[in-house]
Chains A and B, each alone.
Chain A
Amino acid sequence: DAGITQSPRYKITETGRQVTLMCHQTWSHSYMFWYRQDLGHGLRLIYYSAAADITDKGEVPDGYVVSRSKTENFPLTLESATRSQTSVYFCASRSTKPEQGRNYGYTFGSGTRLTVV
């Protein structure tokens, strides 16, 4: 199916373990984003990517690593998970087609709920 998919939907991991969250989109959108959602903080940007092999830090990048070897995939890795990284993680994408002008509307995935114990 076309769209943006995240996996897994739910994940429980132990402190110190490495965990990777996957994000895949089928539109060939240039831009992809990772956000975390926490009570009282809303959505905070972790990392984003403007194209394959181009990534940049967002507001809260510490403890996370991203890569983008292919346009359609944008995995997020927690190198050594901590309890403070317990959160709901959302991946999003958007196009840069000229006709969209200044429309920065994103399309979001359904999220991954990560619990670090």
Chain B
Amino acid sequence: GDSVTQMEGPVTLSEEAFLTINCTYTATGYPSLFWYVQYPGEGLQLLLKATKADDKGSNKGFEATYRKETTSFHLEKGSVQVSDSAVYFCALGVSTADKLIFGTGTRLQVFP
């Protein structure tokens, strides 16, 4: 069945470090891919998305490229800030279904 696998956290970085959070997926058909972010005490917010292979989603300095050949959608940021500390969820949407499938989430902690 369709699924999303994320790297386990927490990921602990110093401010201005480079961030990568890995996400791979299994899906039939041609899924759309998403990254959501959850700040402490809040609901999830859409961070970026890509709807077809080789698309790059970007927002707030974060980027992710839809790689069909490796079934991946890794999240990257060149220089993290303390305010980026949150839980990040990779998600998959299949056109034949009505719902998103989420990964288990990766907690990012950024220290000054």
Task: Answer whether residue B45 sits at the interface, using C-beta atoms and an 8 A cutoff.
Answer: yes
Stretch at the interface among A12-20, A43-51, A60-68, A71-79: A43-51
Interface 0/1 of B61-89, CB less than 8 Å to A: 00000000000000000000000000001
Q: Are A48 and B98 in contact (CB under 8 A)?
A: yes
Interface size on A, residues (CB 8 A): 25
Q: Are A90 and B44 in contact (CB under 8 A)?
A: yes
Task: Answer whether residue A41 sits at the interface, using C-beta atoms and an 8 A cutoff.
Answer: yes
> Which residues of chain A are near B41, meaning CB under 8 Å?
110
Total A-B contacts with CB atoms under 8 angstroms apart:
52
> Which residues of chain B are near A43, meaning CB under 8 Å?
44, 89, 102, 105
Interface size on B, residues (CB 8 A): 20
Q: Are B93 and A42 in contact (CB under 8 A)?
A: no
Nearest residue in A to B100 (C-beta to C-beta)? Answer: A104
Q: For the complex, what is the distance from the CA of A58 to the CA of B97, rounded to whole Å?
A: 12
Q: For the complex, what is the distance from the CA of A55 to the CA of B58, rounded to whole Å?
A: 34
Q: Given A42-B89, A43-B89, do A106 and B100 touch, yes or no (CB 8 Å)? A: yes
> Which residues of chain A are near B104, meaning CB under 8 Å?
40-42
Q: Are B95 and A48 in contact (CB under 8 A)?
A: no
> Which residues of chain B are near A109, meaning CB under 8 Å?
43
Q: Quick one: which of A35, A102, A105 contacts B46, CB cutoff 8 A?
A: A105
Minimum CB–CB distance from B28 to chain A (whole Å) comes to: 15
Minimum CB–CB distance from A79 to chain B (whole Å) comes to: 23
Q: Quick one: which of A56, A58, A101, A108 contacts B43, CB cutoff 8 A?
A: A108
Residues of A within 8 A of B (CB): 31, 33, 35, 40-43, 45, 48, 50, 56, 58, 90, 92, 101-111
* New contact pairs (12) apart from A35-B102, A48-B99, A103-B49, CB-CB < 8 Å: A33-B99, A41-B104, A42-B102, A43-B44, A43-B102, A90-B44, A102-B93, A104-B34, A104-B100, A107-B46, A108-B45, A110-B43
